[in-house]
Amino acid sequence: MNTALIPPYTPSSLEADWQKTWFDNNVFEAHVNPEKQPFYVLEMLPYPSGQLHMGHVRNYTLGDVLARFKRAQGFNVMHPMGWDSFGLPAENAAIKRGIHPGTWTLENIAEMKAVMKKFGWSYDWSKEVTTCLPSYYGHQQALFLDFFAKGLVYKKEALVNWDPIDQTVLANEQVVDGKGWRSGAPVERKLLSQWFLKITHYADALLDDLTTLPGWPDRVKTMQVNWIGKSQGMKFDFTVQDEAGAALDPLTVFSTRPDTLYGATFCAVAPEHPLAKKAAETSPEIAAFIAEASRMGTAQEIIDRAEKKGALTPYVAIHPLTGDKLPIFVANFVLMTYGTGAIMAVPAHDERDHAFATKYNLPITPVVSLPEGHDITAAPYTGDGEVVNSPLFNGKQVDEAIATAIAKAEAEGWGEGQTQYRLRDWGVGRQRYWGCPIPFIHCPDCGVVPVPRDQLPVKLPEDCAFDGAGNPLDKHPTWKHVDCPSCGAKAERETDTMDTFMDSSWYFLRYLCPEADEPLDKTAMDYWMKGGVNQYIGGIEHAVLHLLYSRFFVKALRDMGKLPCGEPFAALLCQGMLIGNSYQKADGTYVYPSQVVWKDGKAFEKDTGEALTVLAAEKISKSKNNGDSPDELLARYGADTLRLFMLFTAPPERDLEWSEQAIDGAWRFLGRVWTLAHKVAAADALQSAPNEALNRKIHQTILRVTKDIERFHYNTMVAACMELMNDLNRAAEEGLSDTVKFGAETLVRLLNPAVPHITEHLWQVLGHTDPLYAAPWPVADEAAAQEDEITLVVQVNGKVRGKLVVPADISAEDALAMAKALDEVQPWIEGKALKKELYVPGRLVTLAVA
């Protein structure tokens, strides 16, 4: 056929047509159907910033390949999408631009959804969930009351970042260099009464059940294990004396290393500890230090990186074993939220204690034998070893000494063994407007009263003032004033809203029953969630918090009889980020990659010719312009090319570097497939002579692609298709045959999950009237895929010395015999004793000689 007769590939109209067909026929709508096996593919729902970015495109394309593949395999696939639409940015937009958070958010959703639909992702949009609508958050309030009824909700004091000018609580990201982002005032740590969810009730289950998740990456499980931070230690008391020698309340400390008890040279308490407060009453220095420490903010990173500082109290702690008097400090690195808020410090064997002791010239006493050459004044030793200088434990290993210490303390009644977790209860209250209202009412007589269920949802008022000071809900003139549901007296609504992590902890359940009157429909849960979400896909940045909170939610809901499973996500794929070079002009502004031309290895702006500075690849962001917007790229290349680029350029879990050139490569490949399919379709007569080698390649490719999709090697899946296409083109040069046609059809079917629009079209070009979305996945003929000859490598002492072409089913004996007989191998083994010989089937023969 004359290639000039092949119509041009114009994705825009073709893609729109197929999207309409899918939509008109409700192709991706999923319903409970006990006859069919369910498969739930879930991608992390986006925050509707208004701009779909390429990171989203990658995430959703990864999920779509799997969803379409599983559909072709006959599964009943659930593949929903929604909006994580509460949160700070909407409220910031309200403060800055005077636009209502709800208006801003819903407009953003409309914009993003319009772009998303152009990518051809196979979502069942009838399941869409928008977390900022009362139809969603009302059910969340109902669940919150269920948690309350189960004793999983409580209030306690907690530290927050407080902006003294704006009279408001700040998020960590709103604290810039220790100052409020708007007011510039130094931030203070403040204790406020806060709502908590008792996630620690499930600490052991959250830890132990990780072993039931083989489909999760090990690194994520490790991060969760470390986050939960279960440790065995000892809680014990120091007797405390004031400067006059009078006894005060004992000081209870927790230590994971009671084996180092004899190495304790001082004690330290958190700035918020009662003993610190007591000392501050009589000492202005200590009061000043506590005030200084309180300006540090609540972020762990800040606390860890800050210089270790303290103030000496006039009190001493009596060492329970030696009777020594240890000084007690108030120290900025001791956390009120971990253990008892007080520590025994062993500078020889703890990093922080060491830094502190060095600064204040406190003694450093090693009690675990040090490795050769270790200078204890320069660095602590935190490893294992034999305990020394400890009358009670000498000669024991660390773990034995720990057991001995606990036994002794328990026998004498001054301490006890205790399991400690790093995991803290989840503070869910936020003093902000744009979140789900916490459904409680404060009554002066009845206390905290839940809002009756028939009064849910508690809706956000529309008419709030957003000036960045205080909590808009609290300042609203009427909203919070209600009658007590219990006694009818005048009472006040809770004005805290919920952490947005609450919204994302159960959205994947609501997708399954978005219209249900109850939060969770039992039939839907039992069908879709029997084994949890089959595959969850999202960014690694959620490896700890979101995933841990969702796991907690699901366990709690299961225990309330609402769910058939105890883990939300059976399998997890964490994708890498999108990164890209940024291009900077002399005036410091940034230029989009599409506006860059390269000459002699240097970058210039297309329109002006101005030379550009190329900056190292980093996370794609709006401020750096280092990624083109999906809209523009869609118009230039179409969805299929962008999808293919995302899949091919890097494996899913790795960072993906932005490259205009790689997109061109994806475009060219689709063009070649297009041409091949048209050539095959237009051939008048096909040669029927079978091409065995090509046929084998086709079946091998089916096997490879199927396996690659199942293990998420999407980049190699595309490479396998490219290989097949190269072979088909070569074969087509020699004449179009039945085998080439079968190959082209197979190629189109295998590529369908990745590039659904062009393949649907080409399937029709190839003469099929049934749509591909309803076609089953190709099945390989294993026998036809079998190679009959293989090449074996012969190694002697690990070095390749010869090669053998042998039948694929050769026995180990024959392979070894032939290898030893090879002319190239003989010189290397002649006259030497054979230590070891090995046949690795299908691969190589290895011979080890003395």
Partner RNA sequence: GCCCAUGUAGUCCAACGGCAGAGACAGAGGACUUAAAAUCCUUCCAGUGGCGGUUCGAAUCCGCCCAUGGGCACCA
Binding mask 99-138 for RNA (x = CB under 7 A): ----------------------------------------
Please identify, among the stretches 233-241, 271-279, 464-472, 498-506, the one whose residues bind RNA according to the rule CB under 7 A: 498-506
Minimal distance, residue 842 CB to RNA, in Å: 8
Give the up-direction half-sphere exposure of residue 225: CA atoms within 13 A in the CB hemisphere: 12
What is the C-alpha separation between 93 and 104, in angstroms, rounded? Answer: 8
Which residues 509-528 are close enough to bind RNA by CB under 7 A? none
Count of positions (residues) in the chain: 850
Which residues have a Cβ under 8 Å from the Cβ of 684 and sit 6 or more positions away?
none
Q: Which residues of 491-506 are buried (b: 16+ CB within 10 A; e: fewer)?
A: bbbbbbbbbbbbbbbb
Which residues 8-47 are close enough to bind RNA by CB under 7 A? 47
Q: Which residue has the tokens 């599964």?
A: 75
**Residue 635 has which token pair?**
């118009």
The conformation of residue 202, written as its DSSP 8-state character, comes to: G
Binding residue for RNA, selected from 155, 713, 768, 820, defined by CB under 7 A:
713
Question: Total residues contacting RNA (rule CB under 7 A)?
Answer: 96
**Residue 460 has which token pair?**
């956000």
CB atoms within 10 A of CB 38: 20
Nearer Cβ to RNA (491/646): 646
Minimal distance, residue 413 CB to RNA, in Å: 31
Q: Which residue has the tokens 């040069």?
A: 733
230 near RNA (CB under 7 A): no
Phi-psi region of 297 (alpha: psi -120 to 50; beta: other; left: phi over 0): left
What is the C-alpha separation between 670 and 753, in angstroms, rounded? Answer: 14
Q: In the chain, how many H helices and how many E strands?
A: 27, 35
What is the C-alpha separation between 834 and 715, in angstroms, rounded? Answer: 43
Please identify, among the stretches 261-269, 371-379, 408-416, 537-545, the one whose residues bind RNA according to the rule CB under 7 A: 537-545
222 near RNA (CB under 7 A): yes
Which one-letter amino acid corresponds to residue 491? Answer: A
Rg of the Cα atoms in the chain: 33
173 near RNA (CB under 7 A): yes
Binding residue for RNA, selected from 433, 501, 508, 552, defined by CB under 7 A:
501
Please identify, among the stretches 28-36, 226-234, 397-405, 475-483, the one whose residues bind RNA according to the rule CB under 7 A: 226-234
277 near RNA (CB under 7 A): no
**Residue 812 has which token pair?**
């180990």
Binding residue for RNA, selected from 96, 481, 606, 619, defined by CB under 7 A:
619
Binding residue for RNA, selected from 649, 691, 700, 759, defined by CB under 7 A:
649
170 near RNA (CB under 7 A): yes
Please identify, among the stretches 15-23, 233-241, 399-407, 796-804, the one whose residues bind RNA according to the rule CB under 7 A: 796-804
Minimal distance, residue 341 CB to RNA, in Å: 14
Binding residue for RNA, selected from 155, 189, 624, 672, defined by CB under 7 A:
672
**Residue 422 has which token pair?**
């790093």
The DSSP-derived string for 122-186 is: ---GGG-EETTSHHHHHHHHHHHHHHHHTT-EEEEEEEEEEETTTTEEE-GGGEETTEETTT-PB
Nearer Cβ to RNA (565/642): 642
Which residues have a Cβ under 8 Å from the Cβ of 776 and sit 6 or more positions away?
72, 73, 74
Please identify, among the stretches 387-395, 520-528, 751-759, 790-798, the one whose residues bind RNA according to the rule CB under 7 A: 790-798
838 near RNA (CB under 7 A): yes
Q: Which residue has the tokens 């092949």?
A: 6
Please identify, among the stretches 69-77, 396-404, 517-525, 842-850, the one whose residues bind RNA according to the rule CB under 7 A: 842-850
177 near RNA (CB under 7 A): no
829 near RNA (CB under 7 A): no
Nearer Cβ to RNA (386/655): 655
Nearer Cβ to RNA (524/620): 620
CB 112 within 8 A of CB 50: yes
End-to-end Cα separation, the chain, in angstroms: 64
Nearer Cβ to RNA (19/161): 161
Nearer Cβ to RNA (139/430): 430
Which residues 41-100 are close enough to bind RNA by CB under 7 A? 47, 84, 86-89
Nearer Cβ to RNA (237/350): 350
Which residues 180-219 are close enough to bind RNA by CB under 7 A? 192, 194, 218-219
490-493 vs 266-269, strand pairing mode? unpaired
Q: Which residue has the tokens 């293989």?
A: 790
Binding residue for RNA, selected from 411, 831, 836, 850, defined by CB under 7 A:
836
Binding residue for RNA, selected from 10, 35, 305, 411, defined by CB under 7 A:
305
Minimal distance, residue 544 CB to RNA, in Å: 4
Which residues 343-402 are close enough to bind RNA by CB under 7 A? 351
448 near RNA (CB under 7 A): no
C-alpha 596, offset from chain centre: 33
Nearer Cβ to RNA (641/737): 641
Minimal distance, residue 542 CB to RNA, in Å: 6
Please identify, among the stretches 122-130, 406-414, 658-666, 736-744, the one whose residues bind RNA according to the rule CB under 7 A: 658-666
Binding residue for RNA, selected from 422, 475, 585, 696, defined by CB under 7 A:
422
Minimal distance, residue 600 CB to RNA, in Å: 10
What is the C-alpha separation between 849 and 830, in angstroms, rounded? Answer: 10
Minimal distance, residue 824 CB to RNA, in Å: 12
226 near RNA (CB under 7 A): yes
Q: Which residue has the tokens 């088909």?
A: 728
Please identify, among the stretches 402-410, 587-595, 797-805, 810-818, the one whose residues bind RNA according to the rule CB under 7 A: 797-805
Binding residue for RNA, selected from 76, 294, 431, 701, defined by CB under 7 A:
431
Binding residue for RNA, selected from 105, 265, 500, 641, defined by CB under 7 A:
500
Minimal distance, residue 330 CB to RNA, in Å: 20
CB atoms within 10 A of CB 686: 15
CB 554 within 8 A of CB 565: yes
**Residue 146 has which token pair?**
């269920």
Binding residue for RNA, selected from 495, 505, 701, 715, defined by CB under 7 A:
715
Alpha-helical (H) ranges within 384-458 are 398-412
Which residues 575-614 are close enough to bind RNA by CB under 7 A? 577
Q: Name the β-bridge partners of 187.
A: none
What is the C-alpha separation between 621 and 628, in angstroms, rounded? Answer: 10
CB atoms within 10 A of CB 622: 12
Minimal distance, residue 304 CB to RNA, in Å: 3
Please identify, among the stretches 371-379, 390-398, 514-522, 534-542, the one whose residues bind RNA according to the rule CB under 7 A: 534-542
Binding residue for RNA, selected from 37, 103, 135, 172, defined by CB under 7 A:
172
The conformation of residue 778, written as its DSSP 8-state character, comes to: P
Helix/strand/coil percentages in the chain, nearest 5:
40, 20, 40
C-alpha 37, offset from chain centre: 28
Give the up-direction half-sphere exposure of residue 572: CA atoms within 13 A in the CB hemisphere: 26
CB 387 within 8 A of CB 368: yes
Minimal distance, residue 164 CB to RNA, in Å: 15
Minimal distance, residue 199 CB to RNA, in Å: 8
Nearer Cβ to RNA (94/563): 94
Closest to 529 (Cα-Cα) out of 495, 567, 572: 567
Binding mask 231-270 for RNA (x = CB under 7 A): ----------------------------------------
223 near RNA (CB under 7 A): yes
- Using DSSP, state whether 318 is helix, strand or coil: strand
